[in-house]
């Protein structure tokens, strides 16, 4: 296996302009509604007061161990928004908060509101449970985003000081702790800090945290013994009761083959593993990433791209265990899998990673926020008896700002470039600016994706230039048509991308048409929850049946293979969506009057119309039954 490296480089967020009928309303709502609402929640719940250091013992709203991470994610999201949509008043709000964070830093570089204000004597005594390094990671990511958006180094310098202090505390040197965080995150943040500063010590620290995890003697045992000797109690002993796989610390990471434990933690550390492998040339570490990718995508991922079936550990159980109504499928976990996919994509240039990224973007991530941008899902089940509803906030509020930062940075996932190639990963309207050698190139994309499979691209550049335009051929697409300047063209497929090579000149036009029939999706036969059931998908969009649109109980409907299911545009529904119409079989409730069991009588079934809507839009019209997987007649 060749030494790993980044074969692709994502185009910067500021090099991509999104002008897209599907995404623009969501991105505008994220900027104008969600971010202000989340700031207000951080203020009203005491998170910002904690960062300001104004809380005093005995007062309400005692700073929690993970509050800093919520503030960090909000700052990062706000800075991504500022990078693409400058706003003076919003910039001032962000800068004021940056000033509060900077003022909270301690003389030695330490920065954590809980341990500074509540129990300063107990720093670093419980890495397993208490999120110190996790919070540091999210503040580091905020600092990188703030610097990239504004050019202001204040927060970046603060977090460099903190990272340098952490590098003094942890490591394999004399008087250093050989520890790592129970909730991974700092590892991928340190990679970002390395990339923006060029300082190799941050890459080395990230590599240490990746390499040290899972080594014996287990650090969590060592620190637990130290806590007992000091008379300190446990915080979350129950979640670790089944072993250190909960935090992916049961064995060294490069030896792992099965995705296990808490889903968010898992994909944060797997994302860091890809980065470390690419930047250090560690082929063994990258091989572990590939094994873990195969395990999750072939045995442990929902049709919506969501991951983590169990509420018990907020994560994984066994292969093919994918229940629908009890699915945990945490929004943060789905976002974390997207991070993992995006990083593997930059190393391998293989469309299978972009396919999962797309599946998540149109289904398992944006389902986490209401269309009006004010209410959120922590979990994303694939069936509901009617009791599930979004909430305006959570005591553990990791998901809302995580989703806000993903949406605000959407453009950075759309394209990648190399010396002689431009990869188009996502089909969304707008423009991309990049360089091929010394030549500046503008690519304009126009499409009604995901409702239509037609994508039109226009090239503008000052002088002719030869390069490859790599257009992703989605895994769900079985037929496509390609034209260049109005003429049909065949193009070789390289790792799932159509390779369109020519000497491009201003005015060149490319049209790609992806056939988008309604597909009946079946699950692997070992997914017991979906035995005898099917799901409906059109293009990248997975559909569900909501009770509000259907007469018969949606979880009792059965769809026959021979019955046609037709797409139909509904401009006045859910902000404008493509819905699916068809006929299903339903047995009238009265046929079961007085009976719990009886002999089957298919002749008693009636044909009833059904309507299916995009899964990501469910629960925007009040509570009610919902099902993604329906019986197959």
Listed residue (42, 16, 43) closest to 27, CA to CA: 16
- Dig out the tokens for 563 from the structure: 């019955």
What CA–CA distances, in Å, run from 435 to 15, 202, 467, 502? Answer: 10, 29, 11, 16
Catalytic residues: 314, 398
Q: Which residues contact 130 (CB under 8 A, 6 or more apart)?
A: 65, 114, 182, 235
Buried/exposed 49-74: b ≥16 CB within 10 Å, e otherwise: bbbbeebeeeeeeebbbbbbbbbbbb
How many Å from the N-terminal Cα to the C-terminal Cα in the chain? Answer: 48
Please give the Cα distance from 122 to 145 (Å, whole number): 30
- Only one residue has tokens 């670093």, namely 124
C-alpha count within 13 angstroms, C-beta hemisphere, residue 105: 22
Q: What's the count of helices (H) and strands (E) in the chain, helices before strands?
A: 16, 23
Spell out the SS3 assignment of 352-370.
Answer: HHHHHHHHHHHHHCHHHEC
* 3-class SS of residue 249: coil
Distance CA 300, CA 311 (A): 15
What are the backbone dihedrals phi and psi of residue 29, each rounded to the nearest 5 degrees, phi first?
-60, -40
Comparing CA positions, the residue from 347, 270, 361 lying closest to residue 316 is 270
3-class DSSP assignment, residue 315 = strand
Determine contact, residues 581/562, Cβ cutoff 8 Å.
Answer: no
- What percentage of the chain's residues is helix, strand, coil (to nearest 5)? 40, 20, 40
d(CA 523, CA 514): 24
115: its two tokens? 């341990």
493 in helix, strand or coil?
Answer: strand
Element (H, E) at 631: strand 630-632
Contact 219, 212 (CB under 8 A): yes
Strands 630-632 and 558-559: parallel
Contact yes or no for 613/546 (Cβ under 8 A): yes
Residue 316: exposed, middle, or buried by beta-carbon count in 10 A (0-12, 13-18, 19+)? buried
Q: What is the DSSP code string of 372-415?
A: TSS-B-SS--SEESS----BS--SS--HHHHHHHHHHTGGGGTE
Q: Which of 152, 140, 17, 12 is nearest to 92 (CA)?
A: 152
Phi and psi at residue 459, in whole multiples of 5°?
Answer: -110, 135
Tokens 């909000």, located at residue: 74
């Amino acid at each position: 296996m060749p030494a790993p490296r980044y074969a692709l480089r994502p185009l910067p967020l500021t090099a991509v302009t999104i002008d897209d009928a599907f995404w623009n309303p969501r991105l505008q709502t994220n900027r104008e509604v969600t971010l202000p609402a989340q700031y207000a929640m951080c203020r009203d719940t005491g998170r910002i007061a904690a960062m300001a250091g104004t809380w005093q013992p005995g007062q309400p709203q005692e700073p929690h161990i993970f509050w800093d991470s919520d503030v960090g994610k909000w700052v990062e999201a706000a800075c991504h928004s500022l990078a693409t949509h400058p706003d003076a008043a919003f910039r001032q709000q962000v800068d004021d908060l940056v000033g509060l964070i900077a003022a909270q830093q301690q003389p030695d570089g330490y920065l954590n509101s809980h341990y500074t204000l509540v129990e300063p004597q107990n720093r670093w005594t419980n890495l397993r449970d208490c999120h110190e390094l996790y919070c540091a990671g999210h503040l580091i990511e905020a600092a990188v985003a703030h610097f990239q958006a504004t050019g202001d180094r204040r927060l970046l310098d603060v977090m460099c000081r903190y990272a340098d202090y952490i590098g003094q505390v942890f490591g394999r040197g004399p008087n250093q702790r050989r520890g790592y965080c129970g909730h991974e995150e700092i590892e991928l943040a340190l990679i970002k800090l390395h990339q923006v500063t060029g300082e190799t010590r941050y890459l080395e620290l990230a590599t240490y945290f990746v390499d040290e995890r899972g080594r014996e003697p287990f650090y969590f045992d060592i620190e637990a013994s130290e806590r007992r000797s000091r008379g300190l109690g446990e915080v979350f002993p129950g979640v670790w009761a089944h072993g250190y796989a909960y935090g992916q610390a049961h064995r060294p990471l490069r030896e792992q083959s099965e995705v296990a434990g808490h889903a968010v933690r898992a994909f944060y550390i797997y994302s860091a593993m890809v980065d470390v492998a690419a930047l250090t040339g560690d082929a063994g570490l990258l091989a572990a990433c590939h094994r873990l990718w195969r395990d999750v995508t072939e045995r442990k991922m929902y049709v919506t791209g969501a991951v983590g079936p169990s509420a018990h550990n907020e994560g994984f159980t066994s292969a093919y265990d994918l229940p629908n109504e009890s699915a945990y499928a945490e929004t943060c976990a789905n976002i974390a899998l997207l991070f993992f996919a995006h990083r593997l994509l930059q190393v391998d240039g293989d469309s299978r990673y972009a396919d999962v990224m797309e599946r998540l973007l149109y289904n398992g991530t944006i389902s986490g926020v209401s269309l009006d941008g004010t209410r959120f899902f922590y979990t994303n089940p694939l069936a509901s008896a009617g009791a599930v509803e979004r909430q305006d906030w959570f005591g553990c509020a990791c998901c809302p700002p995580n989703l806000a930062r993903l949406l605000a940075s959407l453009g950075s996932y759309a394209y990648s470039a190399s010396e002689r190639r431009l990869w188009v990963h996502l089909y969304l309207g707008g423009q991309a600016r990049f360089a091929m050698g010394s030549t500046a190139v503008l690519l304009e994309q126009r499409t009604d994706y995901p409702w239509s499979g037609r994508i039109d691209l226009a090239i503008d550049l000052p002088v002719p230039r030869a390069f490859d335009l790599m257009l992703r051929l989605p895994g769900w697409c079985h037929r496509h048509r390609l034209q260049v300047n109005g003429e049909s063209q065949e193009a070789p497929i390289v790792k799932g991308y159509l390779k369109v090579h020519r000497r491009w000149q201003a005015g060149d036009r490319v049209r790609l048409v992806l056939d988008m029939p309604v597909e009946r999706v079946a699950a692997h036969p070992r997914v017991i929850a979906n035995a005898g059931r099917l799901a409906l998908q059109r293009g990248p969009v997975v559909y569900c049946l909501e009770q509000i649109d259907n007469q018969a109980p949606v979880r009792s409907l059965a769809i026959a293979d021979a019955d046609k299911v037709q797409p139909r545009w509904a401009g006045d529904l859910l902000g404008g969506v493509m819905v699916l119409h068809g006929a299903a079989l339903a047995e009238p409730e009265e046929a079961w009057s007085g009976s719990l069991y009886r002999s089957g009588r298919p002749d008693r079934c009636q044909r009833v119309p059904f309507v299916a809507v995009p899964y990501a839009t469910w629960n925007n019209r009040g509570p009610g039954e919902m099902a993604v997987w329906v019986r197959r007649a």
